[in-house]
Chains A and B, each alone.
Chain A
Amino acid sequence: QKEVEQNSGPLSVPEGAIASLNCTYSDRGSQSFFWYRQYSGKSPELIMSIYSNGDKEDGRFTAQLNKASQYVSLLIRDSQPSDSATYLCAVKNNNFNKFYFGSGTKLNVKP
């Protein structure tokens, strides 16, 4: 069983603050890592992907990967109420063609 763990939350932050979302995974062979945002009643949409150790920035979003610690995180700067959603961490071992998902962290951004 390939496990992906996330704190279910809810994580509440005030508007304009930094939201930090964390994810750990058990499969050391994992090679690709993805963050999806899912609004209530909607399908997941890709926010960011990361494959190498370190940070990757895209606008207000920064993904961080530490393969030695089996840890991936997502930082959201200048959080907006529209960022309120559930954030899913997905991990893929490219040898097995399968994506494994965490249970998601619910983020509430308060105006």
Chain B
Amino acid sequence: NAGVTQTPKFRILKIGQSMTLQCTQDMNHNYMYWYRQDPGMGLKLIYYSVGAGITDKGEVPNGYNVSRSTTEDFPLRLELAAPSQTSVYFCASSPEGFGNSPLHFGNGTRLTVT
């Protein structure tokens, strides 16, 4: 069982470029999340989704966009990359939002913007 899969693992972008971070899960979880983690810091919520077709902003959404066309996939789009977006990005999923289920994390994407 693959769980939460993120691609790519590493990426270097030039300022102003765009890219999409891919995230897919095979656990049939309704809830999916994107977090970023800066060095020595905790996880900050960028966007989340409670099901296909539904997305909402988290704490730090500026500079990012998401879509959720299927239960399995939750891509994160960076438009006009900036050095401040250099970070490690984690996708996570949870089977439910109103219960006590934890987050299941992917392995992360390390992004550098220069």
Contacts and interface: CB of A to CB of B under 8 A. Distances in A.
A and B: bona fide binding partners:
yes
B2 interface: no
A103 B100 contact: no
B58 interface: yes
A59 to B, nearest CB: 17
Interface residues of A, number: 26
A34 B92 CA distance: 14
B45 A102 contact: no
Interface string B87-114: 0001000100111101111111000000
Interface residues of B, number: 26
B4 to A, nearest CB: 9
B100 A99 contact: no
Interface stretch (A12-20, A61-69, A75-83, A87-95): A87-95
A39 to B, nearest CB: 12
Interface string B42-59: 111100101000000011
Interface of A: 1, 4, 6, 8, 31-32, 34, 42-46, 49, 51, 88, 90, 94-95, 97-104
Interface of B: 31, 33, 35, 40-45, 48, 50, 58-59, 90, 94, 97-100, 102-108
22 contacts: A4-B42, A32-B100, A34-B103, A42-B107, A42-B108, A43-B105, A43-B108, A44-B90, A44-B105, A45-B105, A51-B100, A94-B98, A94-B100, A97-B31, A97-B48, A97-B97, A97-B98, A99-B33, A99-B45, A99-B94, A99-B103, A101-B44
